[in-house]
Amino acid sequence: MREFLVEITTTVPEGTPQQQVDERRAAEAVRARELAAAGHLARLWRPVGELRSIGVWCADDETELHEKVLGTLPLRPWMSLTVTPLQPHPNDPGPARPGTPA
């Protein structure tokens, strides 16, 4: 699978009932765990003080990423995305070793 850097900003439409927001956020957490278990969500961060997410997502190609991965997120209708395909860098030190910060 290829890796993609995905920046996500979620904007709840004005007037959306809080119960609907809470239900979608709970469903989003469940779906994120499922996608992580399936190898599609590698890492996810939230920049300090911001209400957006930055993650490394994996899919066979960008079409699969949009249709079968990100498109299955319950909050997707409220999201704006920036997707950047990634490729290995020759100086990449590789994955973090156990016990070291990632």
39-78 per-position pLDDT tens digit: 999 999 999 998 899 999 999 999 999 999 999 999 999 9
Judged against a pLDDT cut of 60, whether residue 102 lies above it is answered with no
HEC letters along 25-80 = HHHHHHHHHHHHHCCCEEEEECCCCCCEEEEEEEECCHHHHHHHHHHHCCCHHHEE
Look at 102 and 84; give whichever has higher pLDDT. Answer: 84
